[in-house]
A = this chain, B = another copy of it.
Amino acid sequence: MKIAIDAMGGDHAPESVVLGVDQAHAEFKDLEFILYGDEKQIRQYLKAKDRVEIVHTTEVISMNDEPVKAIRRKKDSSLVMAAKAVKEKKADALFSCGNTGALLAAGLLIVGRIKGITRPGLLSTLPVVSGQTGAFNLLDSGANADSKAEHLYQYALLGKYYAENVRGVKNARIGLLNNGTEEHKGNKVTQEAYQLLKADQSLNFVGNVEAKALMQGVCDVVVADGFTGNAVLKAIEGTALGVMSLLKDTIKEAGLKGKLGALLLKDDLKGIKTRMDQSQYGGAVLLGVKAPVVKAHGASDAQTVYYTLKQIKTMLDEDMISEFTSYWQTLATKEA
């Protein structure tokens, strides 16, 4: 199992990427890595000697590059070279902390779509915080700005495969993000999608779910058009950060009594941060393409890179993409 790594993507590249690779390398003896990027810089941090290859590249796609243009023009960039290795079956999966749009474009245009999947979607994993532990998957969280009902249906199948194979969820509960829980609710797209999801007996469809219930664990996978899914993902992230920073400010401005209290409560408060931390679930996955294409946050540290490589290992161990592709072909044959 070989992972192609864009070593130059992200705010702390290549250092945190290489250190994360080293950590995964030490733990998972069956993983091999190809690091794409500036060889001199990579060697500065890399400890691993075996199961690792460096391919020197001279270009870097920055966070500000226009995605499709960058993929087409920067042929020698670390990202494009890594994606090509996956296309040419020299590697089994693609990892980057860089420009999300460029990674999505590389996934679509270089790695390529699974036949019949019209719009691959971006899957994110978020924590459940109320009442119970666990997580939920949200997709599409931002690959496509305009979506049709059939895309949402495909997201449900893709999300089910991910939740069951990678997270080990049994008979994943699928929810449809909507503006009310009743069947008739929603806009044209969700009303149509509801009927498609309801009609598929293979899905454990729990109906419409509202954004406020997601963190309470009402479903394992929630499907949404990429515009709304992206907005909800960012609203959750922004609010969690906002409340945590309010907590921080409150402690900072507290009187002596409050400050003492905060000191005593410190270890417990750290637990909240851990619970809210998305990075423990790995990165965002572009589902519907021919190999695992995974994006970790631009600000990722080595630990997050490690978690994401572990997530990719699970996808490869479970042979998730092949399994899904076979299932999908069976469906297509039945319909034809």
Interface residues of chain A, those whose CB is within 8 Å of chain B, are 129-131, 142, 145-146, 177, 179, 185-188, 190, 210-216, 224, 226-228, 230-232, 234-247, 250-251, 253-255, 257-258, 260-269, 271-272, 275-276
Residue of B190, B214, B267 near A238 (CB, 8 A) is: B214
Residue of B211, B268, B276 near A243 (CB, 8 A) is: B276
Contact in complex: B250, A261 (CB < 8 Å)? no
Q: Complex Cα distance A38/B170, Å?
A: 51
Q: Complex Cα distance A237/B242, Å?
A: 12
Task: List chain B residues, Cβ under 8 A from A261.
Answer: 260-266, 268
Contact in complex: A179, B212 (CB < 8 Å)? no
Sample of 7 further A-B pairs with CB below 8 A, known A129-B242, A146-B187, A243-B272: A177-B231, A210-B238, A227-B228, A231-B235, A236-B238, A261-B264, A261-B265
Q: Complex Cα distance A264/B275, Å?
A: 24
Contact in complex: A239, B243 (CB < 8 Å)? yes
A–B complex contacts, Cβ < 8 Å, 17 sampled? A130-B241, A130-B242, A131-B245, A145-B188, A177-B231, A190-B227, A210-B234, A212-B241, A214-B235, A231-B232, A239-B243, A240-B243, A246-B275, A246-B276, A247-B247, A250-B272, A258-B265
Residue of B234, B246, B263 near A212 (CB, 8 A) is: B234
Q: Complex Cα distance A130/B250, Å?
A: 11
Contact in complex: A237, B212 (CB < 8 Å)? yes
Residue of B nearest to A101 (CB): B180
Contact in complex: B254, A258 (CB < 8 Å)? no
Q: Complex Cα distance A130/B269, Å?
A: 19
Task: List chain B residues, Cβ under 8 A from A244.
Answer: 243
Q: Nearest Cβ in chain B — how far from A284, in angstroms?
A: 14
Q: Nearest Cβ in chain B — how far from A191, in angstroms?
A: 9
Task: List chain B residues, Cβ under 8 A from A212.
Answer: 234-235, 237-238, 241
